[in-house]
Structure 1
Amino acid sequence: MKFERFQQLVRMMFLPDEAGNIRTRYENVDAANIHPLVLAYIGDAYFHLYVRMRLLSYEQTQVQALHAFSAQIVSALWQARAYRGISDMLTEEEQAIYRRARNTKSHAPRSASVADYHASTGLEALLGSLYIREEHERLEEITEAAFQIISKEMMNQQEQKHGH
């Protein structure tokens, strides 16, 4: 980001109040009124942290290995596979959040197919919505199910490659 753009964002986001403190623009955060890509932004951050914490039960010393492995798990490819595995456990409302984000216009990176990118965006938006709504039990249930699906598919892929 260029320095001028950064300065513009600071001026736009951080407005002082009468006392010179940073003014809060919104009194509350309502997931129903947040743009789907913003929900995905929050869900992506949550999923990254969840995966990193989960990986600590397997490895606690090799930061490069943790980083490389977590980056693989949170990729659009694996998130799309996770979504396909958990879709049956989602409520109608959760499916609607997923579809709304999946169908939002965005640009897929070269590292993912358009379909996988949109599916992962939908999953992240669902996680972001649950996080914002503070539905922690359901968020944990869905995220752990996604983690298990990804883990098992990764193990199956390794077994197929090595003929076990």
Structure 2
Amino acid sequence: MKFAQYQILKEHALAACKAAGADFPAAKQLNPILLAYIGDVVFSMYIRLRLLPVSSHVRIVNDLGAKMVSAVYQCQAMTELKARLTPEEEAVFRRGRNAKSQVPKSASVYEYRMATAFEALLGYLFLEEQEQRLHELLDESFVIITERIQAAKKKED
């Protein structure tokens, strides 16, 4: 996207923000990358809140939190959770996994796509206000990721 196009789109978005009473778009109609963006925020907040009782040192909470929200560990969680998705959740998962985006060097293409699918699913559940299911998946993923980090640590030692 050229810078001029970016500026026009940004101005349009800012104008839309100023519109009073604007409704959220339907989650099913949102671009899966936008769902993943929302899901990333939801998951990051959840992880950081869960880590608060672990340590009073910000650096420890930040370092552990950054590791837990990485694409590598999100992929591992999604791989385990995938078999327990409803048909509606599977459709959101596939849309997120198949979304085209830049893949960072910190993860493989597969890991990044699975992490994007995971975040898109969380974003979808959040926007659809399916709080019970959202918390189920957040809790399960926290347990999976914690176990995987501990297993990796044991291999290092």
TM-score higher than 0.5 here? yes
Q: What is the Cα deviation at residue 10 of structure 1?
A: 5.3
Q: What is the alpha-carbon distance in structure 2 between the residues aligned to residue 10 and residue 92 of structure 1?
A: 35
Cα offsets for 1:47-96 (capped at 9, x unmatched): 0000000001211x211111111111000000000111111221111111
My pick for the range that moved more, 142-151 or 84-93, is 84-93
Residue of structure 2 aligned with 1:42, choices 22, 25, 38: 38
Q: How far apart are the structure 1 equivalents of 2:12 and 2:34?
A: 18
Distance in 2 (alpha carbons) for counterparts of 1:131 and 1:10: 25
Task: Say which SS state the counterpart of residue 116 (structure 1) adopts.
Answer: helix
Q: Deviations over 1:16-64 (max 9, x none)?
A: 8xxxx921484233101100000000000000000000001211x2111
1:71 aligned to 63, 66, 81, which one?
Answer: 66
Alignment-derived partner of residue 138 in structure 1: 133
1:83 aligns with 2:78: yes
Q: Which residue type is aligned with residue 97 of structure 1?
A: V
CA contact (8 A) 1:31 1:132 kept: yes
Where is the helix percentage greater, Structure 1 or Structure 2? 2
Greater radius of gyration (CA): 1
Q: How far off its partner does 1:160 sit?
A: 2.4
Alignment: residue pair count: 155
The residue that corresponds to 1:93 in the other structure is 88
**In the alignment, is residue 52 of structure 1 matched against residue 74 of structure 2?**
no
Q: 1:29 aligns with which of 14, 25, 31?
A: 25
Q: Does the 8 Å contact 1:29/1:132 carry over to 2?
A: no
Q: Identify if the C-alpha distance between structure 1 residues 100 and 67 changes in structure 2 by more than 3 Å, giving closer, same or farther.
A: same
Indicate how the Cα distance of structure 1 residues 106 and 56 shifts in structure 2: closer, same or farther if over 3 A, else same: same
Aligned position for 1:11: 11
In structure 2, runs of 5+ residues without a counterpart are none
